[in-house]
Structure 1
Amino acid sequence: MNLEMVMQELEALGKERSKKMYMSNGAHEPLFGVATGAMKPIVKKIKINQPLAEELYATGNYDAMYFAGIIADPKAMTESDYDRWMDAAYFYMISDFVVAITLSESDIAQEVADKWIASDEELRISAGWSCYCWLLGNRKDVEFSESKIFNMLDMVKNMIHHSPERAKSSMNNFVYTVGISYLPLHEKAVETAKAIGIVEVKRDEKKSSFLNAYETILKGVDQGRIGFKRKHVRC
């Protein structure tokens, strides 16, 4: 399948309801409003195709950009490729659920995510923390430096209430993810979440969201989710 064929199939799958939902979260034209599950039959036909992924991502169409993340070859992408994708990620559903997820399946994930976390750009910071969430929720605990994750929890505790709005959400998710999916620092994550308390995330033209990682971790404990790891990160 080529670019034109994929775009035609995506357009045919578009739904006005999904389009409105995506736009209410920050997406803008061009987009079709394709439910992510509806993309699976096309993914099966294409599988992994990095050149096509690049063409789709470059369209600026939200659905095409999302689909690009599913068929991309994460290990074929360089740091500059990921930075280029982040430059075009204009809202969090692309930065955190397309770029960060794709990065999490690469060999340079932590290295790139660390740089994004240290940047001064809201979506890069958010994507960096989100990437760690995808990593911790999928890879074995031994693949991480315990002292590094420990220090990152302290960083969140000290900075979360003063961070950009989208970054607050990803940092809160990081604390929750460590508490659920990274056994060596479960107790530290619980202490950190308790110290942080409720995090208010302000949103344009919408009511604020109030996040509580401590309660979310406790719910996970009650549900027997401690130690949970996903088999796959991408669709």
Structure 2
Amino acid sequence: MDLQTVMQELEALGKERTKKMYISNGAHEPLFGVATGAMKPIAKKIKINQPLAEKLYATGNYDAMYFAGVIADPKAMTEADFERWIDGAYFFMLSDYVVAVTLAETDIAQDVADKWIASGEELKMSAGWSCYCWLLGNRPDSAFSESKISDMLDQVKNTIHDSPERTKYAMNNFIYTVGTSYVPQHDKAVEIAEAVGPVEVKKDSKKSTFLVASERIQKEVDKERIGFKRKYVRC
């Protein structure tokens, strides 16, 4: 399949209602409004195709950029490729659910995510913290330095309330993910969640949202799901 054919197939799957929902979350034109599940039949036909993924991502069309992440070959991507992708990720559904997810399937994931977290840029920071969430929820505990994760929890505790709005989401999710999926630091994550308390996230023209990691961790404790790992990062 070439770029033009894929774009035509995606356009045919677009729904106005889905498009409006994406726009309300921060997407902008061009986009078709394709539900992610509706992309699966095309993905099955194409499988993995990095050159095509690069062309799709470069279109700037939200649905094409999302689909690029579905068919990308993460292990064929360099740090420079990920920098290019994060620079093109103009809102959180791209930074956290396309770029961070794709990065989480590479050997360079932690190194790149560390740089993004330290960048001071809202969506890069968000992608960096989100990448760790995808990693912790998939890789064995032995793949991480316990002291490093402990230091990261301290960093969240000290900076989350003063961080950019979208970064707050990812940092709060990091506390929850450590508490749920990384057993060596479960107890500390619970402590940090309690210390941080509700995290207020302001939204344009909408009421603030309050995120409470401690309640989410407790739900997983009640379900006896501590230590939960996903089999795959990408669906």
Scaled by the length of structure 1, the TM-score of the pair is 0.99
Determine helix, strand or coil for the equivalent of 1:31.
coil
Alignment partners' CA distance in 1, 2:133 and 2:71: 21
Q: What residue number does 2:14 align with? A: 14
Q: What residue number does 1:88 align with? A: 88
Give a deviation string over 1:87-142, Cα, whole Å, max 9, x none.
11000000000000000001100000000000011000000000000000000000
The one-letter amino acid of 1:173's match is N
Taking only aligned residues, the RMSD between alpha carbons, in angstroms, comes to: 0.5
The one-letter amino acid of 1:218's match is Q
Q: What residue number does 1:219 align with? A: 219
Alignment partners' CA distance in 2, 1:139 and 1:156: 21
Q: Which runs of 5+ in 2 are unaligned?
A: none
Instruction: Work out the number of aligned pairs and report it.
Output: 235
Alignment partners' CA distance in 1, 2:205 and 2:36: 25
Q: What residue number does 1:47 align with? A: 47
The one-letter amino acid of 1:21's match is M
Q: CA deviation at 1:83?
A: 0.5
Alignment partners' CA distance in 1, 2:20 and 2:223: 33
Q: CA deviation at 1:205?
A: 2.1
Q: What residue number does 2:149 align with? A: 149
Identity of aligned residues (%): 77
Question: Within 5 Å, which residues of 2 pair with 1:1-235?
Answer: 1-235=1-235
Alignment partners' CA distance in 2, 1:86 and 1:203: 22
Alignment partners' CA distance in 1, 2:37 and 2:98: 15
Alignment partners' CA distance in 2, 1:203 and 1:80: 32
The one-letter amino acid of 1:134's match is W
Determine helix, strand or coil for the equivalent of 2:169.
helix
Q: CA deviation at 1:61?
A: 0.3
Q: CA deviation at 1:155?
A: 0.2
Alignment partners' CA distance in 2, 1:170 and 1:147: 20
The one-letter amino acid of 1:98's match is V
Moved more, 78-87 or 204-213: 204-213
Give a deviation string over 1:141-186, Cα, whole Å, max 9, x none.
0000000000000000000001000000100000000000000010
Determine helix, strand or coil for the equivalent of 1:202.
strand
Alignment partners' CA distance in 1, 2:20 and 2:139: 35
Q: Which runs of 4+ in 1 moved over 3 A?
A: none
Determine helix, strand or coil for the equivalent of 2:210.
strand
Alignment partners' CA distance in 2, 1:206 and 1:4: 38
The one-letter amino acid of 2:216's match is T
Alignment partners' CA distance in 1, 2:206 and 2:84: 30
Q: CA deviation at 1:196?
A: 0.2
Alignment partners' CA distance in 2, 1:55 and 1:198: 41
Q: Which runs of 5+ in 1 are unaligned?
A: none
Q: CA deviation at 1:206?
A: 1.8
The one-letter amino acid of 1:195's match is A
Alignment partners' CA distance in 2, 1:107 and 1:73: 13
Alignment partners' CA distance in 1, 2:16 and 2:74: 31
